[in-house]
């Protein structure tokens, strides 16, 4: 919304939320205090806020004044009840649709921005049409406009998108939304489809991307076993224009709010339609991702003589990827939990993730492991007294570690486990560390 406001000075954009604290943070005069860390976002918000970008808790008022409403609430995987563990929880989408139905005036275009299961637009339409029948003169068009930005590169992704996708069946509504994007996105990059294709395209894009990561991680394991190098293999296959070079980095498995949730959502959909083989096919992408995380925790324990109980391990990075403070589904969570279960003492460093988020991720069920963890402020502290450093997020700073200084404060024999192939492994080896790098065979 900040980018829309920035690119379209003639449009008034109002972001509403029930959470007053969050809205206050978006209105904080100190732009470094925005609730989301995202490179360049502070500059965009700084330019538009107070001009044509507003943040408020006056939800109904803003809806009443709007010609177009974007529903951008979260849709996490259900944890209980029908479809638990796979289906999306649509309670906030439904609540938003009801609020829009009750507060809207005149004709309102309602845009699904949240990633949703296929045919959710039908639910929204049904709720809205109940309001249309109220006799208060309001009417609605529903569009699907999924978002493809990736965290860490959100602003450039929005400013120069590969494509914008608009699904719907009301040509005037589609044209209105296309005209907004058309102010900065070339017309040939604005694709229009029917509602269901649009909803399904978003889930499919994420499923294909996640599948690439599980595929390259499966190859990484074979590389380690055979002496091949996954980065050489990725380069060789990526040179084939049919495969392409992007999204072929082996790592600790994918995290983030989308991939796992969206695949499980598809799996649920396939099972609903009786497509068991298709469901099992896609489910395996998630299974392999979990396996990759467990395999990394296991190999740390194995290399440290089969036990990490009471041993210090420095954890470099907790966010699910670099350049974000987001920890949702971060591979660090499962890997750290497994090590805590084994009794390790983790010294966790992340340049952007706050301690509270780490705590939330690592809360163990009752009777969980005997390990413990503490947040640390720099690599030196993470390494202090540690038997190993475990690099989990590819922050640029981890490429420039002073290895002789770090090795000097570790307990020998010391290890570097680099799950992102980010650190200077040769320098770490030269400083006397044993080094394991994901996908690097020992020959």
Asked if 247 touches ligand UDX (CB under 6 A), the answer is: yes
Indicate the SS3 state at residue 387. Answer: coil
Nearest to 231 by CA among 395, 425, 400: 425
Question: Of 8, 138, 223, 258, which is the active-site residue?
Answer: 258
- Number of chain residues interacting with ligand UDX (CB under 6 A): 19
Asked if 317 touches ligand UDX (CB under 6 A), the answer is: no
Nearest to 91 by CA among 110, 114, 111: 114
The least CB distance from residue 193 to ligand UDX, in Å, is: 17
Residue closer to ligand UDX, measured from CB, 203 or 304 = 203
Rounded Cα–Cα distance for residues 291 and 253 (Å): 9
Rounded Cα–Cα distance for residues 329 and 418 (Å): 19
Structural contact between residues 357 and 373, judged by C-beta atoms closer than 8 angstroms: no
Please, which residues have CB within 8 angstroms of residue 72's CB and are 6 or more apart in sequence? 1, 113, 114
Bridge partners (DSSP) listed for residue 389: 314, 416
Active site residue 336: no
Nearest to 441 by CA among 180, 287, 229: 229
Bridge partners (DSSP) listed for residue 391: 316, 418
Helices (H) and strands (E) in the chain, counts: 17, 13
Residue nearest to ligand UDX (CB): 256
Pattern of binders to ligand UDX over 144-163, x per CB under 6 A?
---xxxxx------------
Residue selected from 117, 161, 168, 251 as contacting ligand UDX according to rule CB under 6 A: 251
The least CB distance from residue 249 to ligand UDX, in Å, is: 3
Residue closer to ligand UDX, measured from CB, 255 or 439 = 255
254-273 residues in contact with ligand UDX (CB under 6 A) are: 254-256, 258-259
Residue closer to ligand UDX, measured from CB, 258 or 339 = 258
Phi first, then psi: what are they for 306, rounded to 5°? Answer: 85, 0
Residue closer to ligand UDX, measured from CB, 165 or 304 = 165
Query: What is the DSSP secondary structure assignment for residue 423, as one 8-state letter?
Result: S
Residue closer to ligand UDX, measured from CB, 312 or 420 = 420
B/e letters for 140-150, b = 16+ CB within 10 Å, e = fewer, are bbbbbbbbbee
Residue closer to ligand UDX, measured from CB, 49 or 321 = 321
Structural contact between residues 326 and 358, judged by C-beta atoms closer than 8 angstroms: no
CA dihedral (79, 80, 86, 92) in degrees, to 10, reads -70
Residue closer to ligand UDX, measured from CB, 151 or 350 = 151
Which region among 74-82, 85-93, 105-113, 142-150 touches ligand UDX (by CB under 6 A)?
142-150
Asked if 199 touches ligand UDX (CB under 6 A), the answer is: no
208-227 residues in contact with ligand UDX (CB under 6 A) are: 209, 213
The least CB distance from residue 384 to ligand UDX, in Å, is: 27
Asked if 282 touches ligand UDX (CB under 6 A), the answer is: no
Rounded Cα–Cα distance for residues 46 and 2 (Å): 9
Asked if 249 touches ligand UDX (CB under 6 A), the answer is: yes
Task: Provide the token pair at 198.
Answer: 């649009």
The least CB distance from residue 209 to ligand UDX, in Å, is: 5
Asked if 206 touches ligand UDX (CB under 6 A), the answer is: yes
Residue closer to ligand UDX, measured from CB, 92 or 247 = 247
Which region among 15-23, 44-52, 143-151, 342-350 touches ligand UDX (by CB under 6 A)?
143-151
Which region among 89-97, 125-133, 189-197, 253-261 touches ligand UDX (by CB under 6 A)?
253-261
Task: Provide the token pair at 47.
Answer: 């330019």
Asked if 248 touches ligand UDX (CB under 6 A), the answer is: yes
Please, which residues have CB within 8 angstroms of residue 438's CB and are 6 or more apart in sequence? 220, 224, 230, 250, 251, 252, 296, 418, 419, 420, 421
Residue closer to ligand UDX, measured from CB, 54 or 231 = 231
Residue selected from 321, 334, 337, 422 as contacting ligand UDX according to rule CB under 6 A: 321
Rounded Cα–Cα distance for residues 191 and 188 (Å): 7
DSSP string, 272-302: HTT-HHHHHHHHHHHHHHHHHHHHHHHHHHH
The least CB distance from residue 62 to ligand UDX, in Å, is: 25
Which region among 36-44, 48-56, 247-255, 310-318 touches ligand UDX (by CB under 6 A)?
247-255
The least CB distance from residue 147 to ligand UDX, in Å, is: 6
Provide the binding-site residues for ligand UDX, judged by CB under 6 A: 147-151, 206, 209, 213, 247-249, 251, 254-256, 258-259, 320-321
* Catalytic site positions: 258
């Amino acid at each position: 919304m900040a980018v829309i406001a920035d690119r379209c000075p003639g449009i008034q954009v109002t972001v509403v939320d029930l959470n007053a604290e969050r809205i206050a943070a978006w209105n904080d005069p100190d732009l470094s205090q925005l609730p989301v860390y995202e490179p360049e976002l502070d500059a965009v918000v700084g330019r538009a806020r107070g001009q044509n970008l507003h943040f408020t808790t006056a939800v109904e008022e803003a809806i009443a004044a709007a010609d177009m409403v974007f529903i951008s609430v979260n849709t996490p995987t259900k944890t209980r009840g029908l479809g638990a563990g796979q289906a999306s929880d649509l309670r906030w989408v439904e609540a938003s649709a009801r609020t829009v139905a009750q507060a809207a005036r005149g004709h309102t275009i309602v845009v699904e921005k949240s990633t949703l299961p296929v045919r959710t637009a039908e639910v929204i339409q049904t709720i809205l049409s109940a309001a249309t029948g109220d006799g208060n003169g309001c009417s609605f068009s529903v569009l699907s406009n999924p978002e493809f930005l990736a965290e860490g590169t959100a602003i450039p992704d929005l400013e120069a998108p590969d494509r914008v996708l608009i699904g719907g069946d009301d040509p005037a509504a589609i044209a209105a939304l296309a005209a907004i994007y058309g102010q900065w996105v070339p017309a040939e990059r604005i694709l229009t489809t029917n509602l269901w294709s649009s909803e399904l395209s978003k889930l499919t894009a994420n499923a294909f991307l996640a599948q690439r990561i599980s595929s390259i991680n499966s190859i990484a394991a074979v590389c380690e076993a055979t002496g091949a190098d996954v980065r050489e293999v990725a380069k060789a296959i990526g040179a084939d224009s049919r495969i392409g070079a992007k999204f072929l980095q082996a790592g600790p498995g994918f995290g983030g709010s989308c991939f796992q949730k969206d695949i499980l959502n598809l799996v649920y959909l396939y099972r609903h339609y009786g497509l068991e083989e298709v469901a099992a096919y896609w489910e395996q992408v998630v299974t392999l991702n979990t396996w990759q995380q467990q395999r990394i925790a296991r190999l740390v324990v194995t290399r440290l003589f089969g036990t990490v109980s009471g041993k210090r391990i420095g954890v470099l990075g907790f966010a699910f990827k670099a350049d974000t403070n987001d920890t949702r589904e971060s591979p660090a969570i499962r890997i750290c939990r497994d090590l805590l279960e084994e009794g390790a003492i983790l010294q966790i460093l992340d340049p952007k993730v706050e301690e509270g988020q780490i705590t939330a991720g690592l809360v163990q069920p009752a009777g969980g492991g005997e390990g413990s963890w503490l947040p640390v402020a720099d690599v030196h502290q993470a390494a202090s007294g540690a038997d190993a450093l475990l690099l989990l997020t590819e922050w640029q700073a981890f490429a420039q570690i002073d290895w002789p200084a770090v090795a000097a404060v570790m307990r020998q024999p010391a290890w570097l486990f680099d799950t992102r192939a980010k650190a200077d492994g040769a320098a770490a080896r030269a400083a006397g560390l044993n080094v394991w790098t994901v996908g690097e065979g020992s020959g």
